[in-house]
Amino acid sequence: MSLRAPTILLPLHASPSPAMARSYSHSYSGLAVAVAVAAFLAVGQASGFGFDIHHRYSPVVQRWAEERGHAGLRWPADAVVEGSPAYYSALSRHDHAHFARRGLAQGNDLLTFADGNITVRLDGSLHYAEVAVGTPNTTFLVALDTGSDLFWVPCDCKQCSAITNITAQGGPDLRPYSPAQSSTSKTVTCDNGLCERPNACATRNSSCPYAVRYVSANTSSSGVLVEDVLYLTRERGAGAGAAVKAPIVFGCGQVQTGAFLDGAAMDGLMGLGMDNVSVPSILASSGVVKSDSFSMCFSRDGVGRITFGDTGSRDQAETPFIVRSTHPTYNISVTSMDVGSNSLPVGFSAVVDSGTSFTYLNDPAYTALTTSFNSQVSERRVNFSTDGSDTFPFEYCYELSHNQTTVEPPVVSLTTKGGAVFPVLRPFVLIVDQLTNGKVRPIGYCLAMIKSDIPVDIIGQNFMTGLKVVFNRERSVLGWQKFDCYKDVKTGDDAGSPALTNQVNPQENESPAGNGSFPGAAPLPRQSSAGHAGRVPGGVFLSLMLLLLAAAIV
Tell me how far CA of residue 133 lies from CA of 113, 146, 244, 263, 453, in angstroms.
10, 20, 12, 21, 37
Task: Spot the catalytic one: 109, 123, 145, 149.
Answer: 145
Whether 21 contacts 327, CB under 8 Å: yes
Taking the C-alpha atoms of residue 384 and residue 404, their distance in angstroms, rounded to an integer, is: 18
| ∠ CA 242-247-252, rounded to 5° | 125
308 φ/ψ angles, rounded to the nearest 5 degrees: -90, 140
Task: Spot the catalytic one: 115, 338, 353, 457.
Answer: 353
Q: Which residues of 273-286 are buried (b: 16+ CB within 10 A; e: fewer)?
A: bbbbbbbbbbbbbe
CA 114 to chain CA centroid, nearest Å? 19
Taking the C-alpha atoms of residue 429 and residue 443, their distance in angstroms, rounded to an integer, is: 11
Q: Quickly count: other Cβ atoms within 10 Å of residue 255's Cβ.
A: 15
Tell me how far CA of residue 370 lies from CA of 179, 339, 353, 373, 449, in angstroms.
49, 9, 21, 5, 8
361 φ/ψ angles, rounded to the nearest 5 degrees: -130, 145
Using only C-alpha atoms, what is the Rg of the chain?
24
Taking the C-alpha atoms of residue 147 and residue 1, their distance in angstroms, rounded to an integer, is: 13
CA 302 to chain CA centroid, nearest Å? 14
DSSP for 209-253?
EEEEEETGGGEEEEEEEEEEEEEEEE-SSTTTT-EEEEEEEEEEE
* Pairing label, strands 269-271, 138-145: parallel
Residue 464 DSSP one-character state: G
Taking the C-alpha atoms of residue 325 and residue 271, their distance in angstroms, rounded to an integer, is: 19
Q: Kindly give, in sequence order, each residue whose CB lies less than 8 Å from that of residue 350, ignoring residues fewer than 6 positions away.
A: 331, 332, 334, 361, 456, 457, 458, 459
Q: Kindly give, in sequence order, each residue whose CB lies less than 8 Å from that of residue 500, ignoring residues fewer than 6 positions away.
A: 425, 466, 482, 491, 493, 494
SS3 readout for 56-115: CCCHHHHHHHHHCCCCCECCCCCCCCCCCHHHHHHHHHHHHHHHHHCCCCCCCCCEEECC
User: Among this protein's residues, is 390 annotated catalytic?
Assistant: no
Q: Which residues of 445-475 are buried (b: 16+ CB within 10 A; e: fewer)?
A: bbbbbbebeeebbbbbbbbbbbbbbbbbbbb
Q: Kindly give, in sequence order, each residue whose CB lies less than 8 Å from that of residue 324, ignoring residues fewer than 6 positions away.
A: 26, 71, 72, 331
Tell me how far CA of residue 280 lies from CA of 292, 293, 549, in angstroms.
7, 7, 22
User: Among this protein's residues, is 353 annotated catalytic?
Assistant: yes
Q: Would you name the residues annotated as active-site residues?
A: 145, 353
